[in-house]
Amino acid sequence: MSAPPRPVNLALLGCGTVGGGVIRLLHENSAYLATRVGAPLAVRRVLVRDLDKDRVPECDRSLLTTNPDDVLNDPEIDLVVEVMGGEQPAFDYLRRAIDAKKGVVTANKMLLATRGPELLGLAVDRGVDLAFEASVGGGIPIVRTLREAFTSDWVERLYGIVNGTCNYILSRMREEGLPFDEVLRDAQAKGYAEADPTLDVDGHDAAHKLVVLAMLAFGARVAHDRVPTEGIRGVDAIDHRFAERFGFVVKHLAIGRELGDRVELRVHPALVSQKSVLANVSGVLNAIFVEGRALGPCLLSGRGAGDMPTAVSVVADIVDVARSKLAGSAGRSTRGISIADRPLASLDDIETRYYLRFTVKDEPGVLAHIAGALGQHQVSIEQMVQDGRATDDGLPVSVVMITHRAREAGLRRAMAEIERESWVVAPPRLLRIEEV
Amino acid sequence: MSAPPRPVNLALLGCGTVGGGVIRLLHENSAYLATRVGAPLAVRRVLVRDLDKDRVPECDRSLLTTNPDDVLNDPEIDLVVEVMGGEQPAFDYLRRAIDAKKGVVTANKMLLATRGPELLGLAVDRGVDLAFEASVGGGIPIVRTLREAFTSDWVERLYGIVNGTCNYILSRMREEGLPFDEVLRDAQAKGYAEADPTLDVDGHDAAHKLVVLAMLAFGARVAHDRVPTEGIRGVDAIDHRFAERFGFVVKHLAIGRELGDRVELRVHPALVSQKSVLANVSGVLNAIFVEGRALGPCLLSGRGAGDMPTAVSVVADIVDVARSKLAGSAGRSTRGISIADRPLASLDDIETRYYLRFTVKDEPGVLAHIAGALGQHQVSIEQMVQDGRATDDGLPVSVVMITHRAREAGLRRAMAEIERESWVVAPPRLLRIEEV
């Protein structure tokens, strides 16, 4: 018999709900995890802001500290698990951990979106593991899949439902015919939306996640504020009804496409077919659809947030990094990864089908005018419906069109012309139709 | 500068379409794969049956051999990639490879289904990697997900659409209202079904895959011929129409559930809600839905077969095993895995909702009789429809019922009683309704 192996020593930065979940899972599954890793996993330090706050019962209070040096300067700590969130001081702590050749696991989406390529570069340089499964898609193993399953393939396009709040609101608007404001208020009451919902409903959270996915899928370094981003405030209940009528569902999507020298990234609501695998991803569920050149389509769906799904992903990363550390093969997960600046494609060059909704006075010649303006810019109409009301009541009517494939630049010019007409009562609505 | 690392030496057993795809991917991505692995991947030997057959142009013919000893007795070969298929001689070759402490990657579903636990046991004993992502779900990273993402979680239930032939046939029957035989013939003409379709349409292929999934998800060793298995020959076009009417879709499912001491495994067609994430998995696509205690629901979908998706999965495994070999951490992927015999739950104990279709003479009292027989066995009816035809034409009618949750033992007794009645014209049809 050889001597029992030295444990792999962990420290947590942060001990909120996710951190508590991690401690609980490590505790409950300790024997099994030790056999899978080849050595016990031992939590040695937990960095917190408040020593007196309540913690999960599995958390040994004697491990708590408010001094980051107790973690970062301790040569006995093999692996740092960052579950504190936010860009700073998380970035500085992880930079120091990487410098000290500690393995790093993080669940921090904001950090990855803003400093991901930088952090990954440091990890590659130092030959250290940096695992971040939980930073995007919570309990969905998308990082693992893009890093490992796609090693010998190229991602051609990627469509994500990555914001649970948007998906919950759109799902309920669709199912119950309710207006945005009402569903948002209810989502806030239920805890599915923040008191300040801007980050979610205006699409910024999805843009953060898209930037992380683009780094993995396309090796692209892109600043999240350069991603064309649109939220779901402009989608009305009536759009859900019309979409339904044409066989579509409205989803908030994060989209990435490989275009040779450039990469196309965008976040916005879009119509997808009711037969799409994304159509039934509803409520707070997330999903990421990836299409590989050789692999073809691949969909992953699950809980995009939540303490326990996130904690499961964090522990999977801990096991992975601990194994590498133990085998003396640290840096395994980051080896050979390179991230580079990639120019973004312009929205003008998108070519797809569109859903257009016009609110117009019910006057003769209006339809001919719209069709004419679209036609002048090479946009042709595939289907059209007008709100089925009695005419001559003087009220505005909704006209909805599905176009054939068209170039966005031309479409936008046509829409701008139409919008200037006197019979246009409200700004026209435009939603892209995505084939996924 | 240190000396360039020694390559990781591979040998292929078999060089058919998947093997050719693997050679092509290794060739096309060689520089990138070398940086990800940390050393070049070099194919040193390819075992084939026929030296003269055409191979992909990337295959160096000087590497071909018909003698397995050239691979298995060569100490320079680090990693054996088995893409020959079939139980024997594949099992003997891989046993010898494991004995010789070579890493093993296999795409062989039949081998895993019949000898998986045995092979895995050998690999664990010898501290050798055994990777088999491609053996179930082709291009879907389900093995990786169950092995790694679920390390700190417990799978509670699992639902798979794992046979592309069945899914293609059911999808077309549903979409086009065609009978089974006609779609099968067309599927055979298109190459989506074998000339002898028994293995697929009678559910045996799905049972093979379920046994592999159960090994990963539940640590269960179960002989595939002990899994209650039913194919899709009994599903008529009319069942698709009635299912649609009640808001369901018919899918062929491989189901596994953790029941404490026992494990429930079964393969059969079933009704799932049109809103289910499985409902839109159509055509030859496969999907596996897994529910973890902490992780919650997780769906993976993609191409379950096909040369290139399968080859991508094989190469991902090669990279994984090569990294471990190189780092001196061989056996990483199998470490701590244990598989044990698990008793199977009886179908009698299933409790779910059911779809029942009776073909009966259009006589007074028939409905009351059916309802009475069901009621006597504690089965109550939730919804009922009768074929909307003019009465009194003397032809049999279809009566379809959706039951409330009921225990299968009671339901089967009631069905047996009903079947004996003189007014029953054809055997009743029973389909389980699965909440997924």
pLDDT computed for residue A156 by the predictor? 97
| Residue B148 near residue B172 (C-beta atoms within 8 A) | no
* Residue at token pair 């009978």: B179
Spell out which residues of chain B touch residue A330, defining contact as CB-CB under 8 Å. Answer: none
Determine the 3-state secondary structure of B389 from DSSP: coil
In chain B, what are the domain boundaries? 8-138+307-337, 144-303, 347-433
Please report how the helices B307-326 and B30-37 are oriented relative to each other, as an axis angle in degrees rounded to 10.
40
Q: Which of A21, A25, A139 sits opposite B296 (nearest CB)?
A: A139
Q: Which of A295, A299, A300 sits opposite B312 (nearest CB)?
A: A295
> What whole-number distance in Å separates Cα of residue A235 and Cα of residue B186?
43
| Residue B277 near residue B160 (C-beta atoms within 8 A) | no
Spell out which residues of chain A touch residue B133, defining contact as CB-CB under 8 Å. Answer: 149
Query: Is B335–A36 a contact, with Cβ atoms under 8 angstroms apart?
Result: yes
Q: Which of A28, A34, A276 sits opposite B280 (nearest CB)?
A: A276
Most A CBs within 10 Å: which of B151, B176, B248, B285, as the mutation test of the A interface? Answer: B151
A residues 342..381 contacting B (CB < 8 A): none
Spell out which residues of chain A touch residue B41, defining contact as CB-CB under 8 Å. Answer: none
pLDDT computed for residue A328 by the predictor? 80
Query: Is A295–B285 a contact, with Cβ atoms under 8 angstroms apart?
Result: no
Tabulate helix, strand, coil % of chain A (nearest 5).
Answer: 40, 25, 35
Residue B319 CB neighbours (<10 A) = 23
Query: Is B150–A312 a contact, with Cβ atoms under 8 angstroms apart?
Result: yes
Would strands A381-386 and A397-403 be described as parallel, antiparallel, or unpaired? Answer: antiparallel
How is residue A218 written in tokens? 């396309």
Nearest chain A alpha carbon to B329 = A327
pLDDT computed for residue A1 by the predictor? 47
B residues 224..253 contacting A (CB < 8 A): none
Q: Classify domain B347-433 at the CATH topology level.
A: Alpha-Beta Plaits (3.30.70)
B231: Cβ–Cβ under 8 A, 6 or more apart, which residues? Answer: B166, B200, B201, B202, B203, B204, B252, B269
Q: Which of B144, B282, B302 sits opposite A295 (nearest CB)?
A: B302
Please tell me whether the interface predicted TM-score (ipTM) of this complex is above 0.95: no
* pLDDT tens per residue across span A156-190: 999 999 999 999 999 999 999 999 999 999 999 99
pLDDT computed for residue B364 by the predictor? 87
State yes or no: cis peptide before A364, omega within 30 of 0: no
How far, CA to CA in Å, does B311 sit from each of B24, B81, B212, B406, B425? 9, 11, 19, 44, 50
A362: Cβ–Cβ under 8 A, 6 or more apart, which residues? Answer: A391, A392, A394, A395, A396, A397
In the structure, what pLDDT confidence band is assigned to residue A400 with cuts at 50, 70 and 90?
very high
Q: Which CATH number fits domain B144-303: 3.40.50.720, 3.30.360.10, 3.40.190.10, 3.40.50.11900?
A: 3.30.360.10
pLDDT along chain B (436 residues), means of 10: 80 96 96 93 96 92 96 97 96 98 96 95 94 93 94 95 96 96 95 93 97 96 96 96 97 96 96 96 96 96 93 96 87 85 94 96 91 96 82 82 97 96 95 97
Q: Does B149 touch chain A (CB under 8 A)?
A: yes
Instruction: Count Cβ neighbours within 10 Å for each residue of B76-112 and write b for 16 or more, e otherwise.
Output: ebbbbbbbbbeeeebbebbbbbbebebbbbbbbbbbb
Would strands B8-13 and B41-47 be described as parallel, antiparallel, or unpaired? Answer: parallel
In the structure, what pLDDT confidence band is assigned to residue A388 with cuts at 50, 70 and 90?
low
> Can A8-138+307-338 and A348-433 be said to share one CATH topology?
no
How far, CA to CA in Å, does B207 sit from each of B46, B85, B114? 31, 17, 11
In the structure, what pLDDT confidence band is assigned to residue A326 with cuts at 50, 70 and 90?
confident
Spell out which residues of chain A touch residue B279, defining contact as CB-CB under 8 Å. Answer: 280
Would strands A381-386 and A406-407 be described as parallel, antiparallel, or unpaired? Answer: unpaired
pLDDT at A337 over 90: no
Chain centroid to Cα A344, Å, comes to 18
Q: Which helix (H) or strand (E) holds B109?
A: helix B109-126
Spell out which residues of chain A touch residue B37, defining contact as CB-CB under 8 Å. Answer: 335-336
> What whole-number distance in Å separates Cα of residue A21 and Cα of residue B339?
27
In CATH, what class is A348-433? alpha beta
Strand residues in A179-247 grouped as ranges (E)? 220-221
Amino acid at B253: L
B residues 290..329 contacting A (CB < 8 A): 292, 294-303, 306, 308-309, 311-313, 315-316, 319-320, 323-324, 326-329
State yes or no: cis peptide before B117, omega within 30 of 0: no
B residues 32..51 contacting A (CB < 8 A): 32-38
Q: Classify domain B8-138+307-337 at the CATH topology level.
A: Rossmann fold (3.40.50)
Q: What is the largest CA-CA distance in chain A?
A: 93
| Active-site pick, B109, B209, B251, B325 | B209
**Helix (H) and strand (E) counts for chain B?**
14, 18
| Residue B10 near residue B41 (C-beta atoms within 8 A) | yes
Query: Nearest CA of chain B to the CA of A9: how many Å?
Result: 18
Query: Nearest CA of chain B to the CA of A247: how many Å?
Result: 14
For the four alpha carbons of B118, B124, B127 and B128, in that order, the dihedral sign comes to positive
In CATH, what class is A8-138+307-338? alpha beta
Q: What is the DSSP string of A114-156?
A: HHHHHHHHHHHHHT--EE-GGGSSTTS-HHHIIIIITTTS-EE
Q: What is the largest CA-CA distance in chain B?
A: 93
* Residue at token pair 């989608």: A235
Residue B388 CB neighbours (<10 A) = 7
Q: Does A282 touch chain B (CB under 8 A)?
A: yes
A6: Cβ–Cβ under 8 A, 6 or more apart, which residues? Answer: A39
